[in-house]
Amino acid sequence: MQIQTPDWVKHAVFYQIFPDRFARSKQISDARSKQISDAKNKQPRKRLVQNVNWEDWEAMPTLQGYKGGDLWGIIEQLDYIESLGINAIYFTPIFQSACNHRYHTHDYYQVDPMLGGNQAFKELLDAAHSRNIKIVLDGVFNHSSRGFFFFHDVLENGPYSPWVNWFKIEGWPLAPYTGDVPANYGSWAGNRALPEFNHDNPEVREYIMEIAEYWIEFGIDGWRLDVPFEIKTPGFWQEFRDRVKAINPEAYIVGEVWGDSREWLDGTQFDGVMNYLFAGAAIAFAAGDRVVLEQVQSRDYQPYPPLFAAEYAAKIQDLLALYPWEIQLTQLNLLASHDTARLMTIAGGDKESVKLATLLLMTFPGAPSVYYGDEVGLPGGIDPDSRRGFPLESAWDKEILDTHNKLITLRHQYLCLRIGNYRTLYAQGELYVFARTLKNDLGNEELLIAVNAGTAFAKATFDIDSLDCQLEKLVYGDGEIEWNQEGEIKNISLNVPPRSGCIFGVKN
């Protein structure tokens, strides 16, 4: 079977936004907004929920508090997002809910009023698309919430509810709020706030499929699927893919699966997964023994123990061998997310670790994803600390931002960084060297990337017969390269400063 994945994802740089924490609209007062006309299209712009006492934006986030970020605010920040070189946004859930992260869905057809409702989302979608920025939404289809109408009806009417078989009811009465007696229904991870759907019920299955179709027809560019491995019903995700792709063959379907994902990446289900296997290895190599263990030990990925270059190379080769190449090119690669501590905090505040890991991310096959704020050095421990408000510009780390700007620019500039082959050239001690190469009708495009995770200069000389071009132009970072050839044998000598990386290309 020929595997087909969305071509645009191969050229995308994603930005992950937690909507409550990215931006409050400056055009709408938190407490006294009436109707404000947008200068562009004269449509009334308003906050649908008024007179709310938000948490202080810069205060440490709490598990249940809201900071009041909204979709209008994101629209106002599209210039900034575009300036980073971002051309795709993945939103954590935006549908109506009774929690700040919105994984407790009340209504799958309504964007949360606190975010601006469906009107704000339509304007955001149009504004993003006008800038060639794709929009991917979070689909929470394993479970709903206690406030979901169908489950609420079961709570009110017990066995008489017409929706009883939509959920995994085990007995009566149901106990949705107290832990003193059995819940009597299946819930995700035992959390009574999250009743699980009965996906074996054809009505539930059809309901979820129609939600997926509705928002694809609305104009979104794909779905990120929350805990899809929890849905065991045979053929469910195959049907999901068929129905979504029938509307938009280029829609992106990416699953939240933290480990070996071959079961879902056979070409009949997902186009990719959130690539935590890459994240763990990249952090373990770039940050090494700087990793703060209490920030990672409770997570389902492995950014520890520290990796030397040869160990990192082995993990990367194993990862690249797991899936077909067409799938590798549409993996969603990341270093942090709303479910992890932020990289700056994981690395104990070490900026060089962040820069090295970002270099590995932006030069790896698949679509890189930046968690909002990481590009300006925002710290944050495990949830809820990792979900801080986006910082004021005065608090930005301009060095980290400059690193992101340069590397994203290079990724867009060089096609080989997006779809070229990946080949390890040298991996000893703490020096890791690899090449991204692409041969096409226009000629060869090749880059050599070297990463020195050690605290001393790394020097190495090795044969390099696999490269066609003499790569002598330093296009990123600091380092020295010397090419030598004796007969048919070519080798290079590299000298890379400590805790740094560099990229070499062809001289003009």
Q: What is the DSSP string of 290-351?
A: G--GGGTTTSSS---S---HHHHHHHHHHHHHHS-HHHHTT-EEES--TTS--HHHHTTT-H
Q: Residue 391's CB: how many other CB atoms inside 10 A?
A: 16
Strands (E), 339-406: 367-371
Q: Two tokens at 191?
A: 């959390």
Work out whether the CA dihedral 418, 421, 422, 425 comes out positive or negative. Answer: negative
The vertex-220 CA angle with 237 and 407, nearest 5°, equals 100
Options 70, 196, 221, 226, the catalytic residue: 226
Q: How far are the Cα atoms of 152, 303, 428 from residue 248, in angstroms, in the given order?
A: 34, 36, 46
Q: Which backbone phi and psi does 211 adopt, to 5 degrees?
A: -60, -50
Q: List the one residue out of 108, 120, 177, 118 whose CA is nearest residue 146.
A: 177
CA distances from 421 to 265, 329, 359, 364, 413 (A): 20, 10, 17, 10, 16
Q: Are 333 and 367 in contact (CB under 8 A)?
A: yes
Fold of 420-506: Immunoglobulin-like (2.60.40)
Structure tokens at 99: 């929690």
Q: What are phi and psi of 71, to 5 degrees?
A: -70, -30
Based on the residue annotation, tell me whether 226 is a catalytic residue of this protein. yes
* CB contact set of 9 (below 8 Å; sequence gap of 6+): 88, 252, 271, 272, 329, 330, 367
CB of 273 closer than 8 Å to CB of 260: no
For domain 12-416, give the fold.
Answer: TIM Barrel (3.20.20)
Could you say which of 20, 123, 138, 256 is catalytic? 256
Instruction: Find the largest Cα–Cα distance for the chain.
Output: 86
Q: Give me the amino acid identity at 488.
A: E
R_g of the chain computed on alpha carbons? 24
Tokens of residue 156, six digits? 């009110």
Residue 234 contacts by C-beta under 8 Å, 6 or more apart in sequence? none
The DSSP secondary-structure symbol of 99 reads S
**For every one of its 508 residues, what pLDDT tens digit does the chain have, with 9 covering 90 and above?**
799 999 999 999 999 999 999 999 987 644 334 443 444 444 566 666 666 789 999 999 999 999 999 999 999 999 999 999 999 999 999 999 999 999 999 999 999 999 999 999 999 999 999 999 999 999 999 999 999 999 999 999 999 999 999 999 999 999 999 999 999 999 999 999 999 999 999 999 999 999 999 999 999 999 999 999 999 999 999 999 999 999 999 999 999 999 999 999 999 999 999 999 999 999 999 999 999 999 999 889 999 999 999 999 999 999 999 999 999 999 999 999 999 999 999 999 999 999 999 999 999 999 999 999 999 999 999 999 999 999 999 999 999 999 999 999 999 999 999 999 999 999 999 999 999 999 987 668 999 999 999 999 999 999 988 788 889 899 999 999 999 887 778 899 999 999 999 999 987 6
CATH 3.20.20.80 domain extents, the chain: 12-416
Delimiting residues of CATH 2.60.40.1180 domain(s) in the chain: 420-506
Q: Is 256 an active-site residue?
A: yes
> How many other CB atoms are found less than 10 A from the CB of residue 384?
18
Helices (H), 61-114: 71-76, 78-83
Q: Which CA distances in Å does 468 have to 363, 415, 424, 445?
A: 19, 17, 15, 9
Q: Are strands 332-334 and 367-371 parallel, antiparallel or unpaired?
A: parallel
Residue pair 9/224 in contact by the 8 Å Cβ criterion: no
Name 392's Cβ contacts closer than 8 Å, sequence gap at least 6.
58
Q: Which position has the token pair 């539930």?
A: 204
Amino acid at 79: D
Report how far residue 442's alpha carbon sits from residue 346's, in angstroms, rounded to the nearest whole number: 43
Unique residue bearing structure tokens 């992260």: 101
User: 213: buried, middle or exposed (CB in 10 Å: 19+, 13-18, 0-12)?
Assistant: middle
Residues in the chain: 508
Rounded CA gap, 141 and 28, in Å? Answer: 32
